[in-house]
Structure 1
């Protein structure tokens, strides 16, 4: 079974893809030229850096970073609950403060 070029892959071709391939997966081919500046900003927040020995960023770490950043996948519960959302302490009454 052959895959046509127009059909997108679900993952990069290897564990250490090129910056161009990561750019196409993360921001799409139309915005890939903005990737170098975006990657620099994301690195300040913990985005995986290019592994000098392997010549690329480790794709599973890139994906995990983006999943954490957007609170999806395994990291969906990592997002703090907002006021009014249900959670484990949703039924707990709020303490009453005395007015002074």
Structure 2
């Protein structure tokens, strides 16, 4: 079940919090290395006003990276189904 829109979780998370959510036990050291590489691929950067990353955008980046969001629609219909 999706989380409620007002679930009281913070939207901006620290690097340590994101590392724990994304990598679990590997945590911060591995996240620091991955974040450098993934920022080149579109991972949202740390917001200068909050010092944190916007978690929904980080999650969307990871979902897209793993193919959970189709970004392009087929240009044409592939034809009628033939179930016989």
Question: Does the pair score TM above 0.5?
Answer: yes
Secondary structure of the 1:78 match is coil
**Of 40, 47, 54, the match for 2:50:** 54
Is the Cα contact below 8 Å between 1:19 and 1:56 reproduced in 2? yes
User: Hey, what does 1:17 align to over in structure 2?
Assistant: 13
| Counterpart secondary structure, 2:53 | coil
Q: Please say if 1:78 is aligned against 2:71.
A: yes
Where does structure 2 lack aligned partners over 5 or more consecutive residues?
Answer: none
CA distance in 1 between counterparts of 2:17 and 2:58 reads 12
* Cα distance per residue 1:32-87 (max 9 Å; x no partner): 12110110000010100000101100011001101111111xx1x33799xxxxxx
TM-score computed with the length of structure 1 as normaliser: 0.61
Which aligned runs of 4 or more in structure 1 are off by greater than 4 angstroms? none
Q: Larger radius of gyration, structure 1 or 2? A: 1
Q: What is the aligned partner in structure 2 of residue 66 from structure 1?
A: 62
- Secondary structure of the structure 1 residue equivalent to 2:52: coil
How far apart, in 2, do the equivalents of 1:80 and 1:90 lie? 15
CA RMSD of aligned residues (A): 2.5
How many Å separate the matches in 2 of 1:44 and 1:22?
Answer: 18
